[in-house]
């Protein structure tokens, strides 16, 4: 039975049992403090907690999930996968334990011919929470399971929560006995390899206030409703129904593994090490594909970093299989063909997905080449120093800065006859993880931050009236002070305020929040921010400028009209720039991010190379021609399917509800789904001035533009600069480029002549500096300052020249200079001096310490600096003292 068929059987069964079928949410979590959707219940948290009323009493879904905490275990076990799919059925205050157990048993044991999954009753075992007598009794009553196949476990196994304050409850897990070949008899309590969990029924009834660990938490009380949250691993069910040993061999994953076999020429099943690599490739390619399909792009932070890590681990694994050439075009195509029937969007957006994947692979292959060069130099230096171990700091630098895998560093070092100081490397990695963990923890919202909106949301959705009006009278429904409900707020306090209606736009879709005020009898509130903390609710962060505001007060929202006008201009201009880009570059140049605020727009789009000046001009001309033509801007609210049929662009990676707002500018020329505020005609935009274009990733570019009056002011400033240049250079405007190029060439030639004169002058200083050499211990020593210099290179050149002039006897040369008021010293030692124990790097650190700075370098030449030029004589004395001790 194919994986897609299992999923469809599941949905069909629950649809026949009066469940609303809900499409999968994006892998990108709506919660800004959580990177990914890590469990099937994540999209339903607002309903499970009662913060948002559930739109249906019962539901079922197939939810895409990503977990990366076990990434190092991927490929090593049968069960660890980065991307996986959870089959779930949900009840929000409808059925509870009896219903959940009945549905699960019926679907699992019903024959395949009757639409079930056809598992043998004799192979099914269950566990329940240690004190849950009710669940144990229901399993006996409904399924007829004997008592010995109903096992009790504690909180570690049979109490479920998210690890954060929020919903939780006892659970009952369903296991399949894989048979004697897989381990000992006795049920999951004895061997959870032979007895493999496939379905977890969570009886969600508790509200947890403080979670200290998996088994240590406080229960604040009961949830408003007793809910059911179940999760059945689709890949695990597919393992059993397809008779394979692990999830990597199921029909949606195995094709990538097979393609890696063909490319590498190696055989899956012939070697444990290679098998792990094949499974890593299969998992990571599919996981990367699914993240790319939800709009994530490789980067060095957040979600993009996780994606980049998955993709680079894939490249590394292919390299270990003996393949150095690009493989993503073939591997990702294999995964696309395996997944597209379940997720058609993959094929629809294939051009963008494949472009991003192939560009990342090309970038990393270049990184590997660069990292190999850096590592070769580090290996050479290590050998020169007589060491047999590459410093852990060098390995960490390669890993952290260049993305160079540690196992590749180990491999190359071993080939060179060196080990790597893994203890130091692991320590640095742990420090980094600790910093990242502390940062993530500091950004996590406590449940109270969201749950406080529950009572407010229960009063209904906040009505946004700002499309047509800038002011509206409303009523204060609630106040939050420091995240806690309050009845009033006084002058000087910063609070959140929730109203029944508002004209103030909440930040979304790239458009920043409105500016404005909220006024009422005896109070004035300055609006600092407007957000949607939970679906359907708009919250205003305000500072009480005057008076006192209380729950129940009448309040009028007043939008800053000038700011809103400029923001509307910028947002509509963004749509014009998008359409102009697609006209110029083709349909693959689609939006991947944007920011609109008064007078300014920033637009990210999928494209792999810089735009020429001519292309930028063409885009700007097309967009401004649309402004000049005064195109009508219309908006319509309709179903998502109707909008797509009308040709509206649904932006890649964006999430939309079943009802959407479609914005047309000039009819179908620009037709996008958008909830932002817009002008009535394109002429109101005034002017669009593209001021920048740059790379923001391997396959993404960013355009920045000024709009309206801001665009005019920028052009006026440029005109003033041109006017000043024409006057100063006494050159007509059209001849300015040639004249400036001519002056630049003259300046470059003059700088070259000056450099030659300065080099000649420095060369003349060498004999005099060498003559100052004195005997310090067994060394000749020169310690001199040459005063003001242009750069450290000038000082280095002098120090090396003096060292050569002193001949083969042990010599240490310290030459100092001052650049921009800051002293620097370069120390050079010859072979004889180093043999006698004088190391330039160590001496540079000593000198720099006296100067109030830092320094170091190689044994033959090193540099230090500081802030106190008057300390140079003391720095030379410190070097002399060290030489005498040597």
Strands 124-129 and 83-92: unpaired
pLDDT at 447: 36
> What's the average model confidence in pLDDT over 489-514?
94
- CATH for 838: 3.10.310.40
> What's the average model confidence in pLDDT over 41-57?
85
- Cβ–Cβ contacts within 10 Å for residue 702, how many? 19
Q: Are residues 428 and 545 in the same domain?
A: no
Q: Are residues 97 and 239 in the same domain?
A: yes
User: Where is average pLDDT lowest: 128-142, 423-437, 680-694?
Assistant: 423-437
> What's the average model confidence in pLDDT over 259-276?
94
pLDDT for 623 beyond 90: yes
> What's the average model confidence in pLDDT over 534-555?
93
Q: Is residue 853 part of a domain?
A: yes
CA angle 24, 28, 33 (to 5 degrees): 130
* Segment 367-408, tens digit of pLDDT: 777 777 777 788 888 887 878 888 888 888 777 766 677 777
pLDDT at 79: 63
pLDDT at 19: 96
Task: Domain of residue 782: give its range.
Answer: 766-885
- CA–CA dist 860, 144 (Å, integer): 83
CA 465 centroid distance within chain: 34
65 is in an annotated binding site: no
* Pick from 261, 273, 253, 131: nearest CA to 203: 131
pLDDT at 203: 96
Place 476 in a pLDDT band, splitting at 50, 70 and 90: very high
Mean pLDDT computed over every residue of the chain: 89
Q: Is residue 740 part of a domain?
A: no
- Name 419's bridge partners: 389
Instruction: Name residue, tokens 């660990």.
Output: 213
User: Where is average pLDDT lowest: 66-80, 726-740, 760-774?
Assistant: 66-80
pLDDT at 351: 87
* CA dihedral of residues 31, 32, 34, 35 (deg, nearest 10): 120
- CATH for 528: 2.40.30.130
- CB neighbour class for 878 (10 Å; exposed up to 12, middle 13-18, buried from 19): buried
Place 1 in a pLDDT band, splitting at 50, 70 and 90: very high
In terms of pLDDT, which residue wins out, 559 or 407? 559
* pLDDT > 70 in the chain, percent: 95
* Segment 17-34, tens digit of pLDDT: 999 999 998 998 876 567
- CA–CA dist 278, 317 (Å, integer): 8
Q: Is residue 761 part of a domain?
A: no
> What's the average model confidence in pLDDT over 414-439?
77
pLDDT at 309: 86
- CATH for 632: 3.30.980.10
- CA–CA dist 700, 581 (Å, integer): 13
- CB neighbour class for 752 (10 Å; exposed up to 12, middle 13-18, buried from 19): exposed
Task: Work out the angle between the directed axes of helices 406-415 and 350-384 (0-180°, nearest 10).
Answer: 40
* pLDDT > 90 in the chain, percent: 60
Q: Are residues 568 and 712 in the same domain?
A: yes
DSSP state of 791: -
The tokens for 635 are 């908006």
Q: Is residue 755 part of a domain?
A: no
Q: Are residues 554 and 568 in the same domain?
A: no
Q: Are residues 551 and 573 in the same domain?
A: no
pLDDT at 440: 47
Rg over alpha carbons for the chain, rounded to the nearest Å, is 34
The tokens for 273 are 């090490």
Q: Are residues 423 and 513 in the same domain?
A: no
Q: Are residues 607 and 702 in the same domain?
A: yes
Q: Is residue 635 part of a domain?
A: yes
575 is in an annotated binding site: yes
The tokens for 502 are 């508002």
- Name 84's bridge partners: 65
* CA dihedral of residues 870, 876, 881, 884 (deg, nearest 10): -170
Strands 150-153 and 124-129: parallel
Q: Are residues 413 and 544 in the same domain?
A: no
The tokens for 62 are 């197939």
- CB neighbour class for 110 (10 Å; exposed up to 12, middle 13-18, buried from 19): middle
pLDDT for 356 beyond 50: yes
* Segment 203-219, tens digit of pLDDT: 999 988 888 998 999 99
> What's the average model confidence in pLDDT over 421-443?
70
Q: Are residues 417 and 461 in the same domain?
A: no
Do the Cβ atoms of 419 and 389 come closer than 8 Å? yes
* Segment 667-678, tens digit of pLDDT: 889 999 999 999
The tokens for 834 are 């180093």
Do the Cβ atoms of 330 and 337 come closer than 8 Å? no
Q: Are residues 105 and 137 in the same domain?
A: yes
Q: Are residues 312 and 421 in the same domain?
A: yes
Strands 779-788 and 811-819: parallel
- CA–CA dist 639, 648 (Å, integer): 11
Do the Cβ atoms of 6 and 117 come closer than 8 Å? yes
pLDDT at 162: 76
Number of domains in the chain: 5
CA 149 centroid distance within chain: 44
Q: Is residue 30 part of a domain?
A: yes
CA angle 198, 201, 207 (to 5 degrees): 135
* CA dihedral of residues 90, 95, 96, 100 (deg, nearest 10): -60
> What's the average model confidence in pLDDT over 499-524?
95
Q: Is residue 490 part of a domain?
A: yes
- CATH for 186: 3.30.930.10
Which residues have a Cβ under 8 Å from the Cβ of 787 and sit 6 or more positions away?
A: 817, 818
**The last residue of a domain, from among 537, 559, 581:** 559
**The last residue of a domain, from among 507, 529, 559:** 559
* Segment 782-827, tens digit of pLDDT: 999 988 887 888 889 889 999 999 998 999 999 999 988 889 999 9
- Residue 569's alpha-carbon distances to 559, 630, 679, in angstroms, are 16, 13, 6
Q: Are residues 583 and 665 in the same domain?
A: yes
**The last residue of a domain, from among 375, 410, 443:** 443
- CA–CA dist 881, 839 (Å, integer): 14
- CA–CA dist 195, 192 (Å, integer): 5
pLDDT for 238 beyond 90: yes
- Residue 376's alpha-carbon distances to 391, 560, 752, in angstroms, are 13, 61, 35
Q: Is residue 732 part of a domain?
A: no
Categorise residue 76: left if φ over 0, alpha if ψ from -120 to 50, beta otherwise.
alpha
- CA–CA dist 334, 581 (Å, integer): 31
């Amino acid at each position: 039975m194919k994986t897609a068929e299992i999923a469809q059987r599941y949905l069909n069964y629950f649809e026949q049992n009066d469940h609303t079928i809900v499409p999968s949410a994006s892998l990108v979590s709506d919660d800004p403090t959580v990177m990914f959707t890590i469990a099937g219940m994540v999209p339903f948290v607002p309903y499970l907690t009662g913060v948002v009323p559930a739109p249906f009493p019962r539901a079922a879904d197939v939810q895409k999930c990503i977990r990366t905490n076990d990434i190092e275990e991927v490929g090593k076990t049968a069960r660890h996968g980065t991307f996986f799919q959870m089959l779930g059925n949900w009840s929000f205050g409808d059925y509870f334990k009896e219903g959940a157990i009945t549905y699960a048993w019926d679907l699992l044991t019903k024959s395949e011919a009757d639409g079930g999954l056809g598992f043998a009753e004799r192979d099914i075992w269950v566990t329940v929470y240690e004190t849950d007598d009710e669940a144990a009794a229901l399993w006996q009553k409904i399924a007829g399971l004997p008592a010995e196949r109903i096992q009790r476990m504690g909180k570690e196994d049979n109490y479920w929560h998210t690890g954060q304050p929020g919903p939780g409850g006892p659970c009952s897990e369903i296991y399949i006995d894989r048979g004697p070949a897989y381990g000992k008899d006795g049920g999951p309590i004895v061997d959870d390899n032979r007895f493999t969990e496939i379905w977890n029924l969570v009886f969600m009834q508790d509200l947890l206030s403080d979670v200290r660990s998996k088994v240590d938490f406080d229960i604040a009380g009961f949830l408003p409703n007793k809910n059911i949250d179940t999760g059945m691993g689709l890949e695990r069910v597919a393992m059993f129904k397809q008779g394979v040993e692990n999830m990597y061999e199921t029909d949606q994953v195995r094709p990538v593994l097979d393609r890696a076999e063909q490319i590498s020429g190696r055989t899956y099943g012939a070697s444990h090490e290679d098998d792990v690599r094949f499974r890593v490739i299969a998992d990571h390619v599919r996981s990367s594909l699914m993240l790319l399909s939800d709009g994530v792009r490789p980067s060095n932070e957040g979600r993009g970093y996780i994606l980049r890590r998955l993709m680079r681990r894939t490249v590394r694994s292919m390299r270990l299989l003996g393949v150095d050439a690009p493989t993503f075009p073939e591997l990702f195509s294999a995964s696309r063909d395996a997944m597209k029937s379940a997720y058609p969007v993959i094929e629809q957006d294939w051009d963008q997905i494949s472009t991003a994947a192939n560009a990342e692979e090309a970038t990393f292959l270049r990184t590997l080449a660069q990292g190999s060069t850096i590592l070769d130099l580090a290996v050479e230096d290590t050998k020169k120093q007589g060491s047999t171990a590459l410093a852990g700091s060098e390995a960490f630098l390669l890993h952290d800065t260049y993305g160079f895998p540690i196992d590749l560093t180990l491999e190359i070092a071993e080939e060179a006859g060196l080990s790597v100081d893994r203890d130091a490397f692991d320590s640095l990695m742990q420090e980094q993880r600790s910093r990242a963990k502390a940062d993530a923890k500091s950004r996590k919202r406590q449940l109270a931050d969201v749950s406080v909106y529950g009572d407010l949301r229960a009063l209904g959705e906040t009505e946004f009236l700002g499309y047509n009006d800038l002011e509206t009278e409303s009523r204060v429904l609630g106040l939050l002070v420091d995240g806690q409900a309050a009845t009033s707020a006084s002058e000087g306090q910063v609070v959140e305020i929730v109203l029944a209606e508002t004209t103030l736009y909440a930040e979304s879709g790239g458009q920043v929040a409105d500016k404005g005020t909220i006024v009422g009898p005896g109070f004035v509130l300055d609006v600092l921010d407007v957000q949607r903390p939970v679906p359907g609710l708009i919250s205003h962060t305000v500072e009480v400028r005057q008076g006192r505001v209380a729950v129940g007060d009448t309040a009028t929202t007043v939008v800053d009209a000038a700011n809103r006008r400029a923001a509307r201009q910028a947002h509509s201009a963004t749509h014009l720039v998008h359409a102009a880009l697609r006209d110029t570059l083709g349909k693959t140049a689609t939006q991947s991010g944007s920011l609109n605020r008064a007078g300014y727009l920033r637009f990210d789009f999928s494209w792999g190379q810089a735009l020429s000046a001519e292309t930028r001009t063409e885009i700007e001309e097309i967009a401004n021609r649309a402004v000049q033509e005064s195109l009508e801007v219309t908006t319509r609210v309709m179903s998502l399917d109707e909008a797509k049929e009308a040709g509206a662009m649904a932006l890649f990676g964006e999430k939309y509800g079943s009802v959407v707002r479609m914005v047309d500018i000039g009819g179908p020329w620009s037709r996008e789904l958008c909830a932002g505020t817009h002008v009535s005609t394109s002429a109101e935009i005034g002017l669009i001035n593209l001021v920048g274009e740059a790379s923001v990733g391997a396959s993404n570019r960013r355009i920045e533009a000024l709009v309206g009056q801001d665009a005019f002011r920028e052009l006026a400033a440029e005109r003033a600069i041109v006017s000043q240049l024409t006057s100063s250079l006494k050159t007509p405007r059209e001849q300015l480029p040639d004249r400036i190029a001519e002056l630049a060439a003259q300046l470059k030639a003059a700088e070259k002549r000056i450099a030659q004169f300065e080099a000649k002058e420095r060369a003349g200083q060498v004999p005099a500096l060498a003559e100052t050499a004195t005997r310090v211990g067994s060394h000749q020593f020169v310690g001199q300052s040459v005063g003001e210099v242009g750069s450290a290179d000038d000082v280095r050149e002098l120090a090396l020249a003096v060292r050569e002039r002193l001949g083969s006897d042990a010599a240490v040369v310290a030459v100092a200079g001052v650049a921009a008021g800051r002293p620097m010293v370069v120390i050079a030692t010859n072979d004889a001096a180093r043999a006698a124990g004088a190391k330039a790097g160590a001496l540079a650190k000593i000198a720099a310490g006296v100067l109030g700075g830092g320094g170091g370098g190689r044994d033959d030449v090193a540099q230090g600096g500081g802030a106190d030029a008057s300390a140079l004589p003391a720095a030379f004395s410190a070097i002399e003292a060290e030489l005498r001790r040597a």
